[in-house]
Amino acid sequence: MTRRIILALAGACLFAIGTAVGPWITPGGSTVQAAGTCSALPTASALGNFLVAAPGMSDPTIGGDAGGLYHGTRMWGAVVNRDGELCAYATSTSDPSQVWPGSQAIAKAKAYTANAFSLDASVTPVSALSTALLYTFTQPGHSLWSLGQSNLFDTRFLAAPGATGSTNQITGGLIFFGGGVPLYSGGKIVGGLGISGDTSCADHEIAKRVRQLAGLNHPSGPLVDDIVYSGVDPVTTRNFTHPQCPNTYRNGGFIGNENPSSGY
Identify the pLDDT of residue 167: 57
Task: Give CA torsion, residues 205, 211, 213, 219, to 10 deg.
Answer: -120
- In this prediction, residue 168 has a pLDDT band, given cuts at 50, 70 and 90, of low
Across the range 223-236, mean pLDDT stands at: 88
- In this prediction, residue 62 has a pLDDT band, given cuts at 50, 70 and 90, of very high
Chain centroid to CA 125: 23
- Neighbour count for residue 215 (Cβ, 10 Å): 10
**Contact in structure between 103 and 191 (CB atoms under 8 Å):** no
Q: Is the pLDDT of residue 2 over 60?
A: no
* CA atoms of 77 and 8, how far apart (whole Å): 38
Fold classified for 22-256: Beta-Lactamase (3.30.450)
Q: Is the pLDDT of residue 199 over 70?
A: yes
**Contact in structure between 228 and 160 (CB atoms under 8 Å):** no
Beta strands per DSSP E along the chain: 24-25, 31-32, 76-81, 86-91, 165-166, 180-185, 188-196, 228-229, 241-242, 248-250, 253-256
89-101 pLDDT, tens digit per residue, is 999 998 888 999 9
Tell me the pLDDT of the chain averaged across its residues. 84
Identify the pLDDT of residue 234: 81
Alpha helix stretches (DSSP H) within the chain: 2-21, 44-53, 103-116, 200-214
- In this prediction, residue 19 has a pLDDT band, given cuts at 50, 70 and 90, of very low
- Neighbour count for residue 141 (Cβ, 10 Å): 6
**Contact in structure between 210 and 202 (CB atoms under 8 Å):** no
Q: Is the pLDDT of residue 17 over 50?
A: no
- Decide: helix, strand or coil at residue 230: coil
111-163 pLDDT, tens digit per residue, is 999 999 999 999 988 999 999 999 988 888 888 888 888 888 888 878 776 55
The residue ranges of every structural domain in the chain are 22-256
Task: Sort 100 into a burial class: Cβ within 10 Å, 0-12 / 13-18 / 19+.
Answer: middle
- What does pTM read for this prediction? 0.84
Q: Is the pLDDT of residue 11 over 50?
A: no
Q: Residue length, the chain?
A: 264
Across the range 64-72, mean pLDDT stands at: 97
